[in-house]
Amino acid sequence: HPQDCSFRLSQDSSLQGGESFFRNILATMETVYLNRNPTAKAILELVRSVDDDRLCYDHFAFRTYGRRVEIPCEEVESVLVCPPNVPHSDAGAGVNGPLPRIFISELLVDQMSPEAQKIIRKYTNLSGNGNMHAALASALGCLTWEKPSYSEFQQLARESEYAAWTLVNGYTLNHVTISAHRLKSHLRNIRNLNQFIEENGFKLNSEGGILKGSENMVKTKDGVSPDGLLLQSSTVADSTSFQFAEGIVESIPCSYIEFAERLVLPQFKNLPENEVEEIHRRDGFEVGNADKIFESTSMDQLTRKVA
Ligand code: OOG
Ligand code: NI
């Protein structure tokens, strides 16, 4: 469940090495991501050029093939790992700033067709215990299985673009998310940020509208209706050429960049602005937003013409 935060970094100074190791891994994953995704790189530079280099990340996101048997209908499940609530000195930015949340989704492989399952299991079997080295593979920017075949990639893509994306991108960063509300300039408002990004010629994911999460629906008795306090948007993924096992080189979708503005929770709305911290804001994720953000790597969005 998104609210279950299982990852904890100790505040004990004897474990500071652990934290710097973790930050080093994040920095290496980020380097791979920036080298592969010119749009993400350009947008980070653009935002930093306006916002005094104090940009920080809301979350890092990864995709995986899941092995659990799950509730029918949902294609993808996810877990969220939250950083500990330790006060962070205002000094660092980026991966040296406040630690990002880690968002890991998994494809519910058991619910795929037998043909798709066969392809996925072929590669995860080839990988052996490669899943134990997911962070290493992500930091190196390589797959833990052999180079996939183009025909199998295409077959997977027909059933699930998520499955096909994961086959060729593996554990590499799917996206990083800029924390809009922690910016200092007018870009702290996600609507201004979206406008700024578009004015600079970048294409945003239009699925269900550019801004996700702004609908302010009433609480149902199941308690899962959107509260309108988590606003998100994202670019359309970059493409890169990829050499498949047959030797064919084809263009594949790689990663995108996301923006998130977490609004202040109702119980803290009277706090003076300079006293508002991350803990006073909407935490977690929103399924209704996520469903649309997933489309950032879809062919529909990649081939869409900007009006
Ligand atoms: C993840 C999409 C969902 C969010 O913040 O809700 C998401 C993906 O594309 O793998 O990033
Ligand atoms: Ni995200």
pLDDT by 10s per residue, the chain, length 307? 333 333 333 344 444 568 889 999 999 999 999 999 999 999 999 999 999 778 999 999 999 999 765 546 567 888 888 887 666 666 789 999 999 999 999 999 999 999 999 999 999 999 999 999 999 999 999 999 999 999 999 999 999 999 999 999 999 999 999 999 999 999 999 999 999 999 999 999 999 999 999 976 656 566 556 789 999 999 999 999 999 999 999 999 999 999 999 999 999 999 999 999 999 999 999 999 999 999 999 999 999 987 6
How far is 141 from 147, CA to CA, in rounded Å? Answer: 13
Tell whether ligand 1 has an atom less than 6 A from the beta carbon of residue 174.
Answer: yes
pLDDT at 83: 82
pLDDT at 69: 56
Class of CATH domain 13-296: alpha beta
pLDDT at 12: 46
How far is 188 from 54, CA to CA, in rounded Å? Answer: 12
Tell whether ligand 1 has an atom less than 6 A from the beta carbon of residue 234.
Answer: no
How far is 80 from 51, CA to CA, in rounded Å? Answer: 28
Tell whether ligand 1 has an atom less than 6 A from the beta carbon of residue 292.
Answer: no
The complex's ipTM works out to: 0.99
Task: Enumerate the domain spans of the chain.
Answer: 13-296
Q: Which of 119, 195, 197, 111 is nearest to 152 (CA)?
A: 119
Neighbours of 108 (CB within 10 A): 20
pLDDT at 224: 58
Q: Which of 118, 106, 233 is nearest to 165 (CA)?
A: 106
Tell whether ligand 1 has an atom less than 6 A from the beta carbon of residue 105.
Answer: yes
Nearest CA to ligand 1 atom 5: 290
Mutating to test ligand 1, I would choose from 166, 207, 258, 292 the residue with most ligand atoms within 8 A of its C-beta, which is 258
pTM for the predicted model, two decimal places: 0.91
Nearest CA to ligand 1 atom 2: 294
Tell whether ligand 1 has an atom less than 6 A from the beta carbon of residue 285.
Answer: yes
Bridge-based pairing state of the strands 230-234 and 256-262: antiparallel
Mutating to test ligand 1, I would choose from 103, 107, 165 the residue with most ligand atoms within 8 A of its C-beta, which is 103
pLDDT at 53: 74
Ligand 1 nearest-atom number relative to CA 293: 2
Neighbours of 34 (CB within 10 A): 17
How far is 64 from 43, CA to CA, in rounded Å? Answer: 26
Tell whether ligand 1 has an atom less than 6 A from the beta carbon of residue 212.
Answer: no
* Residue 118 identity: K
How far is 159 from 143, CA to CA, in rounded Å? Answer: 21
pLDDT at 6: 34
Tell whether ligand 1 has an atom less than 6 A from the beta carbon of residue 290.
Answer: yes
